Structure 1
Amino acid sequence: MAALDSRQLAALEQAAVWRARLGDESVGSAEHAAWHAWLQADEQHRWAWQQVERVQQRLQQMPTRLAGRTLELAGQQPALGRRGVLKGLVLAAGAGAVGWGGYQQARQGPWFADYHTRTGERLSFTLDDGSQVQLNTASALDVRFDPQQRLLVLRDGEVLITTAKDPANRPFLVQTRHGTVQALGTRFSLLAGENTTRLAVFENRVQVLAGEQGGGALLEAGEQCRFANPALVLSSPLESNLDAWSKGLLIANEQYLGAFIADLARYRRGWLRCAPQVVGLRISGTFRLDDQAQIFRALESTLPVRVSQRTPYWVTVEARK
């Protein structure tokens, strides 16, 4: 049977999250409306919801002992918390939809990474070698240290790394789906997109190898590039404020409103869109990511726009009437 593609995997994960949320007795009408909007927005969402519902129905029909064993075979322990239930639903739905290939692919999703963040979350931690790592919103990272190398695998999203010196002089590598970089005593970030990975170097140097057959480049502090297997995009001067998110900030400098809203949407659950009539407006300012209500007030006070909130999870920035 066909393997799951990236859109199906993402939809399965979103469906599992919605199933867990709606199972909470405290959920109100606003969240139900947001779920309905998500469901109607894409055919893939409706497909994924059917898969998760089907799995839950099957588990409910099983004796408790067998249901626990089913989730355990999907990569979980019998005693499951909310995170475990989500993993089990995604895996079982993926396996039920496309067989073993789907199961294997589902295990590569962000829920199974060593470290991961949900939409709107950021995470800071220290590795065993003393290196400092910050994960941005909706990101997933694996740590694969061994006696020969210090390897991180960025499954998805964005990471900011400040490397530490290693007494054993093991190379520090970060791998994405588009290639691998080697840090040369540095502070740098990687943003793994669908088609390319963006590298930004803030201190010292980073060596880039874009895929097995791709070209290579040595980037100095103050440079950035986008690379993809097998092509390497040439480097360019570093854009300002690419690491502002690590301080909880979103900074705009004469940025198009459409691009600003797209950046903000990365940190917000639900649907946030910019109406076509106002995407070309310009915005400047420094905004706190953890206070999006203040961001919306600032938009309305400085631009000819209004922020329409049908529910807390369904927001449109449109022309003021």
Structure 2
Amino acid sequence: MNEHDSDTPLDQALEWCVRLQDAGVTRAEQAAFTRWLEADPSHSVAWQRAQQVWRVSGVAGNAHVAASSAQRQRRPRRFSLGLASAAAVLLAVSVLVLSPARWADYRTEVAQVRSWTLDDGSVVQLAPQSALDVRYSAGERRLVLHKGEAWFKVAPNPTRPFVVEAAGGDVRALGTAFDVQVLEDGANVTVTEHSVRVSRAGQQAEAGEGQALHYGAQGIGALRRVDPGQQLAWREQRLVFSDEPLTQVLQRLQPYSRAHLLLTDSSLAQLRVTAAVQAREVDAALQSLQVILPIRVTTVGPWLTLVRPVQR
């Protein structure tokens, strides 16, 4: 590999990650990696960062390197990285197996949108990578949205309230159709018909048709007017972004991609995006963002896509 092929040490380090994972890597390439690593202190820093990125992506991070004296000194470090990677994989597997979402009543996969009619006649539509449990009883119709997003069309039954539990809060239907989206910091609720009552940690708020709100650890946020057709375009395999921060755009694109979408620089998080994309064309959407934003999108194998600043 020519070390000048990439613009930054991190670029170079990530390329070395890819190359050194190849079972066919040659001794000459291993020696070239050693020379690159020792050529500049920034290379060592970049290599450590690349290993972290590699592990976050879910790919094994312990690359093959040459047995030079410098590399022999680094062996304990590589061994520890290997153990850390193995531990991370075991932890990820255990979390996957033990997670309630893994065994939920209704689930969707990457880029999959599905609808079901429940026993009471209510309809639920799940966005990609979502998981929902149904816990109906004689006095209540309770559902638990473990992850992802779901739209509900509720069959009327005044004697059995319809309640969706998600992200530490409850959303109670007041004769309605509505959407709940689980996020890292709480949940969004969007009402398409009638109204809902949201409860969390002793707080309550009602939202009506064409309104939305967010709730989380900081409480229940203010009501805001929205275009339900735009907000719920995912139901038709479209995604519409209106002056949204890049970090939120990536979060909404993630369920449609098998690769982990990683924003490498927090300074990019609040870049604003206005666009409409086909949900099944995530790669094309990401590439198009490079035209309107100062970002660079790099695919590292099938499981990781990096979103980085443009090198000036």
Match of 1:180 in 2: 170
CA deviation profile, 1:100-140 (whole Å, cap 9, x unmatched): xxxxxx2x521111112234333221112221211123221
Distance 1:177 1:159 in 2: 13
Residue type of the partner of 1:175? E
Match of 2:129 in 1: 138
Residue type of the partner of 1:122? V
Contact 2:239 2:277 in 1 (8 A): yes
1:246 aligns with 2:235: yes
Aligned counterpart for 1:233 among listed residues 199, 217, 220 = 220
Match of 1:165 in 2: 156
Worse-superposed segment, 307-316 or 178-187: 307-316
Aligned counterpart for 1:149 among listed residues 140, 147, 150 = 140
Unaligned runs of 5+ in 2: 1-22, 25-53, 62-80
Distance 1:44 1:133 in 2: 41
Match of 1:74 in 2: none
Task: Choose 1 or 2 for highest CA Rg.
Answer: 2
- Sequence identity of aligned pairs in percent? 27
RMSD of aligned C-alpha atoms?
3.5
Residue type of the partner of 1:144? R
Distance 2:124 2:210 in 1: 20
Distance 2:84 2:182 in 1: 23
Distance 2:258 2:131 in 1: 17
Q: CA deviation at 1:297?
A: 4.1
Match of 1:126 in 2: 117
Structure 1 residues 148 and 44: alpha-carbon distance in aligned structure 2, compared to 1, 3 A threshold: farther
Contact 2:105 2:133 in 1 (8 A): yes
Aligned counterpart for 1:46 among listed residues 70, 73, 86 = 86
Tell me, what secondary structure is at the counterpart of 1:253? strand
Match of 1:110 in 2: 101
Aligned counterpart for 1:216 among listed residues 204, 209, 213 = 204
Q: CA deviation at 1:301?
A: 4.3
Q: CA deviation at 1:186?
A: 0.9
Contact 1:202 1:222 in 2 (8 A): yes
Residue type of the partner of 2:122? S
Structure 1 residues 134 and 305: alpha-carbon distance in aligned structure 2, compared to 1, 3 A threshold: same
Distance 1:155 1:189 in 2: 14
Tell me, what secondary structure is at the counterpart of 1:180? strand
Normalised TM-score (structure 2): 0.63
Contact 1:38 1:270 in 2 (8 A): no
Aligned counterpart for 1:287 among listed residues 277, 289, 303 = 277
Distance 1:311 1:205 in 2: 45
Contact 1:216 1:232 in 2 (8 A): no
Q: CA deviation at 1:190?
A: 1.4
Q: CA deviation at 1:157?
A: 2.3
Aligned counterpart for 2:254 among listed residues 265, 270, 273 = 265
After TM superposition, list the pairs within 5 Å mapping 1:59-74 onto structure 2.
Answer: none
Work out the number of aligned pairs and report it: 238
1:199 aligns with 2:189: yes
